[in-house]
DNA sequence: AATGAATGAGACTTCATTCAT
DNA sequence: GATGAATGAAGTCTCATTCAT
């Protein structure tokens, strides 16, 4: 299965490396082709245009990312545990793959609106996972029943996202996954004293 | 006073409009000049280069933005009220200025590392405001004493930022400031039932 | 062999023609590309930038120029004959190629310091040839033994160069090579009566 | 007399300094105006355009230069002495004014054909001085009678010019005027042994 | 006479994409 | 399928010159 479309994956992996190392604006198609060990023209046999490389990259990498989260979460017993697992997996997967983290947190955000829209389509699946945890938590009476679900989702995603971005931008020398429990605790219980 | 450096502000305001309407990558200097009603070359009497327009734009607009928040917050009595005020002002100011919101939430993030660094320098002042609210809250025994302040700041900023971004991207037809109290409640008390 | 790097030579030849006809300051890259029958961008597959076209032009043309002089001179028997041959070849080669003469005598001197430095590096080889003739002449007791070699070189080169420049600027209707013997005679014996 | 058109001379002197220090291509009108202590627009009250500054500069400075040579030469008794005096004065005047030497030997040669043509008009007066020395030398039977006068002039001017250019470009640490006698000797008697 | 803010034409270079081999 | 040489559109910035004050 992995050997299906070997060039396709070769090119996507090259793109991640090149963008992480050089930044989005210095990642010309020719540079990606060189890193992938193919000719410039070959790229266009597998991708419609440059933007399509990036969209595919995101679909491919985030697809696996989300899939794994969906699987692992299914095994947890309640919404709180699922939320913790989601945070931990999010942090673990990006924390173990700095180039990918750089690309998703920083470089891909410099893209044009069209691309960003397509990236958001991929993200929707992830946001749906968060939504279902929230709903489950409410059903389980773990979470407040009158929560504004959309806002909660934004808080969860915004906090996770900002935490990863900070880790990538600042130092990424401390353990990202080591912060999962604290982040979870904050999201669940807030900052105020009871 | 407003008549000081009229061209300077003219150009910055034109830049916000042009970028909000056309997107960062379609905002040529000539387009900004035309909207500002000046010649292309005039831009370079007031700005070192194109990037300098954007940095100045951010400094100018976010400077005012943050200044106002600092002032209004000073009048509040405790950390909780200050946090609510910060969220409300953040939402109110961007909610009342869609072009500026588009530029700060979407378009300016497509910029190169140099520009992003300078933007972050401006943001630092805002993050410092958040930090001081957190510290005050702990001193006032309103917030938990063993909070990881950096994580808390990331949660607060990440949540606010994600909320604004969603408002800008999705519909921006509902009231942004109308969500301030709920967001505040979530940040303070979390999502769990007591 | 001539078909090696055909585009490279195509572009250099086009550059000579365009510069000779329009002058250095009116010789846009696009004009050179058009004359060479290639797209503007193609220029940059063969040259680093515009200046590199000019440096390469000088290296290529003067390289051949000097090489030919070195070869022909080697066959002459003494310093005086060698000097005459050098003058004749210098005049013959430039006299037979007015565009090249215009470019080397007039247009290329309007370039910036960087370019001039590189041009001087190429010229050094030519000056070395003159130096060795002077030394040989002294050894052969044809020339005075206590000559200030550097000054002599300056006289020889200055005279030749000024003669070509005059020919190019004024009329270039008389034969340049026809003046070689007289120039040689002047350099060797001076202007005074014995 | 010196106080006539003080701005005119102020600007010309500023131009020499600015061009000598920054090079021709970095010598914008605004830079010259600043050095001269006048506004940009003021330049255009005294000069038709930028080129006119340079032409005037050359006329003014070379005018004085040639005038002095004409005067001093008149006092010499024969062509040989006059030639020596001309070389000495040429070297002395430029050797004592490095900025002027830089401008005339290097920077002004980067100008466009129009300017160069006007510069040559100024030079003609100098070349006429050389011509009359040659003619006098022939009449006095000091120089050979069948000399090609134009070639001789080119040799004399080319040699002097090349010597000054070398002095300016290389080191200009040795005395330029110290080479006058040797240069004179070479021009008069050539390089060959009798 | 003097100012200097404003003008705007003009050119080099990059790079995504194509297509003949 | 694979190549990579060639394409050409497009945008930032400079600077000589003007003209209202």
Whose C1' is closest to the CA of B44: which nucleotide? F13
Calculate mean pLDDT across residues D154-162. 97
Residue showing tokens 């006068």: D149
Residues of C in contact with D26 (CB under 8 A): none
The residues, any chain, with a CB within 8 Å of residue D15's CB and separated by 6 or more, are D27, D32, D36, D53, D54, D57
Q: Which residues of D touch C192 (CB under 8 A)?
A: 80, 137, 142-144, 188-189
As ranges, strand F nucleotides with an atom below 7 A of a protein CB are 1-20
pLDDT of D149 over the 80 cut: yes
- How far apart (Å, rounded) are the C-alpha atoms in residues D101 and D160? 13
Q: Is the pLDDT of residue B4 over 70?
A: no
Q: Name which of A158, A165, A170 to mutate to probe chain B: the one with the most chain B Cβ atoms within 10 A of its Cβ.
A: A158
Interface of D with C (CB under 8 A): 23, 25, 80, 106, 109-113, 116, 120, 134, 137, 141-144, 147-148, 150-152, 154-155, 157-163, 166, 169, 179, 182-183, 186-194
More confident residue, D2 or A73: A73
Give dist(CA A27, CA A51) in Å, integer: 12
Chains that touch C (3 or more CB pairs under 8 A): D
B42 touches strand E (CB under 7 A): yes
Region D86-112: mean pLDDT is 91
Residue A3 has pLDDT above 70, yes or no: no
pLDDT tens for each residue of C40-94: 999 999 999 999 999 999 999 999 999 999 999 999 999 999 999 999 999 999 9
Higher pLDDT, D117 or B127: B127
pLDDT in tens, C1-41: 345 678 999 999 999 999 999 888 889 999 999 999 999 99
Q: What is the pLDDT of residue D1?
A: 40
State residue C123's pLDDT score: 93
Mutant choice from C191, C192, C193, C194 vs D, greatest count of D C-beta within 10 A: C191
Q: What are phi and psi of B178, to 5 degrees?
A: -65, -15
Tokens 């030519």 label which residue?
Answer: C126
Distance, angstroms, CA A73 to C1' F2?
A: 44
pLDDT averaged over every residue in chain A: 93
pLDDT more than 70, % of chain D: 96
pLDDT of residue A170: 83
**pLDDT confidence tier of residue A120, bands split at 50, 70 and 90:** confident
Q: For D25 and F15, how far is CA from C1' in angstroms?
A: 11
Q: How many angstroms separate the CA atoms of B145 and B129, rounded?
A: 18
**Chains adjacent to B (≥3 CB pairs closer than 8 angstroms):** A
Domains defined for chain B, CATH in brackets:
1-47 (1.10.10.60), 51-189 (1.10.357.10)
> Among the listed ranges A145-149, B171-175, C175-179, D76-80, which one has the minimum average pLDDT value?
B171-175
The phi, psi pair for D186, rounded to 5°, reads -65, -45
- Of A13-17, C178-182, D190-194, the least confident: D190-194
Say if residues D188 and C190 touch (Cβ distance below 8 Å).
Answer: yes
Q: Quick one: average pLDDT of C105-130?
A: 86
Identify whether the C-beta of residue A109 lies closer than 8 Å to the C-beta of residue B157.
no
* DSSP state for residue D179 in the 8-state scheme: G
Given pLDDT bands bounded at 50, 70 and 90, which one contains residue B120?
Answer: confident
pLDDT reading at D151 higher than 90: yes
pLDDT tens figures, B147-158: 999 999 999 999
Question: Mean pLDDT throughout C148-169?
Answer: 96
Question: What average pLDDT does range D89-116 have in this prediction?
Answer: 89
CA–C1' nearest nucleotide, residue A5? F1
The partner residue sitting opposite B158, judged by closest CB among A113, A159, A189, is: A159
pLDDT at B127 over 50: yes
The partner residue sitting opposite D154, judged by closest CB among C144, C154, C166, is C166
Cβ–Cβ of C159/D158 closer than 8 Å? yes
Considering chain C, what is the average pLDDT of its residues? 92
Q: Which bases in strand E are touched by protein, i.e. have an atom under 7 Å from a CB?
A: 1-20
Through-space separation of residue A25 CA and nucleotide E16 C1' in angstroms: 13
In terms of Cβ atoms closer than 10 Å to its own Cβ (0-12, 13-18, 19+), residue D178 is: exposed
Chain B residues within an 8 Å CB radius of A151: 163, 179, 182-183, 186
For all residues of chain D together, what is the average pLDDT?
92
Contact A126, A89 (CB under 8 A): no
d(CA D102, CA C62): 26
Contacts of C34 (CB under 8 A, 6+ apart): none
Statement: residue D2 has pLDDT above 50: no
- Give the burial class of A88: count Cβ atoms within 10 A of its Cβ; 0-12 exposed, 13-18 middle, 19 or more buried: buried
Q: Is the pLDDT of residue C108 over 70?
A: yes
Task: Give the nearest chain A residue to B133 (CA atoms).
Answer: A191
pLDDT for position D3: 54
CB contact under 8 A, C162 and D154: yes
Q: Over 70: is that where the pLDDT of D169 sits?
A: yes
For residue C111, pLDDT over 80 is answered with no
DSSP state of C193: -
Do D191 and C154 lie within an 8 Å CB cutoff? no
Written as one string, the DSSP assignment of A145-180 is TT--HHHHHHHHHHHHHHHHHHHHHTT--S-SGGGH
Q: Give the chain C residue nearest D116 (alpha carbons).
A: C106
């Amino acid at each position: 299965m992995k050997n299906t479309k070997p060039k396709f994956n070769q090119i996507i992996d090259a793109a991640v490396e090149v963008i992480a190392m050089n930044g989005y604006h210095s990642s010309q198609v020719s540079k990606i082709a060189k890193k992938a060990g193919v000719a410039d023209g070959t790229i266009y046999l597998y991708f419609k245009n440059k933007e399509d490389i990036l969209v595919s990259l995101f679909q491919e990498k985030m697809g696996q990312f989300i899939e794994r989260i969906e699987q692992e979460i299914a095994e947890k017993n309640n919404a709180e545990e699922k939320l913790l697992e989601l945070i931990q997996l999010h942090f673990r997967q990006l924390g173990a793959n700095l180039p990918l983290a750089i690309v998703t947190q920083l470089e891909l955000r410099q893209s044009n609106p069209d691309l960003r829209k397509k990236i958001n389509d991929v993200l929707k699946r992830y946001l749906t996972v968060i939504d279902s945890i929230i709903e489950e938590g409410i059903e389980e009476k773990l979470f407040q029943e009158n929560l504004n679900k959309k806002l909660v989702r934004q808080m969860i995603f915004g906090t996770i996202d900002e935490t990863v971005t900070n880790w990538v931008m600042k130092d990424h020398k401390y353990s990202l996954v080591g912060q999962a429990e604290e982040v979870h605790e904050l999201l669940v219980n807030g900052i105020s004293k009871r």
